[in-house]
Amino acid sequence: MIPAAFEYVAPTTVADALAALAEGGDEAKVLAGGQSLLPILRMRLNAPETVVDLGRIEALRGIREDGDALVIGAMTTYADLLASDLVREHAALVHAAIAEVADPQIRHRGTIGGALVHADPAGDVGAPVLALDGELVITGADGERTVAAADFFEDLFTTAVGDGELLTAVRIPKHTGWGAAYEKFVRVAHQWSIVAVAATVRMDGDTIAEAKIGLTNMGSTPLRAKAVESALAGSAATATAVGAAAASAAEGTTPPSDLNGDADYRRHLATVLTRRAVLAAAGR
């Protein structure tokens, strides 16, 4: 498990990181926690000439309020997010999902930005960020641009982050007071999601006023279960009503088949997990 040799650069500012990336060109890779990159390097599935480690850029860490949004630095670790009262209060869905990521060791190394740009559809942060209508702040030589989560995930392992650019921050609109639940289905605790459902709801008494639902590993990118969301708006938060709405959770999805389950099984799981996640988010 020895990677091929590479140059290691550890800049302390975003500007220096962008410069290092520009210099490295096509042969540079970004290290943003390393929980996926390092296995890939060690198994020699990839051999970049330069690895640019963002771990020493303090400006990319931390969680702050910015009006009606939370701004999360791309290099904020899962563990930092889990410990954050701001996240728990205003983005409870992110908290719920991240609590289910792998194991404590990985949660102390892995970062939200690294996971989002790696864009593994079985990863646990894409669906909640998508469900919460997050926005991704991308920084390049020409400055910053902001991309909606819905436009960010392009394909398997492919995002809107372009050549020589970095994801620098994640903006999550505050969902204060929304209930949230992340139903993750795995065979062993440290596994990638076979399927997971991220659900957050705004209640009006016993009625679901609004629901947002993200699906993990039901296609080449995180997906929104829009049909379920529409059916739930104004619906009673009963098992029957939510179950009926959740039945369409797998509509339009293209889940993979692997050792953990084929596509049909995943479609079935999506409906069950959606029902459970919505009911849990509604406090039922």
Q: Does 126 bind another protein (CB under 8 A)?
A: no
- Considering only residues 47 to 66 of the shown chain, the ones binding another protein according to CB under 8 A are 48, 54
Q: Does 103 bind another protein (CB under 8 A)?
A: yes
Q: Where does the chain show beta strands of DSSP type E?
A: 7-9, 28-31, 50-53, 63-66, 69-73, 135-140, 143-148, 153-155, 158-159, 166-173, 179-185, 195-204, 207-216, 223-224, 235-236
Check the CA dihedral 112-117-121-127 and report its sign: positive
- The identity of residue 66, as a single letter, is D
In the list 142, 162, 205, 240, the residue contacting another protein (rule: CB under 8 A) is 162
Q: How far is the CB of 111 from another protein (least distance, A)?
A: 9
Q: Which stretch binds another protein (CB under 8 A): 199-207, 208-216, 222-230, 256-264?
A: 256-264
Q: How long is the chain? A: 284
Nearer to another protein, 89 or 100 (CB): 100
The H or E element containing residue 244 is: helix 239-246
Instruction: Give the separation between CA 17 and CA 60, rounded to whole angstroms.
Output: 11
In the list 106, 209, 233, 272, the residue contacting another protein (rule: CB under 8 A) is 272
Nearer to another protein, 92 or 121 (CB): 121
Q: Does 223 bind another protein (CB under 8 A)?
A: no
Report the candidate in 12, 120, 128, 151 with the shortest Cα–Cα distance to residue 70.
Answer: 128
Q: How far is the CB of 50 from another protein (least distance, A)?
A: 9
Q: Does 142 bind another protein (CB under 8 A)?
A: no
Q: Does 167 bind another protein (CB under 8 A)?
A: yes
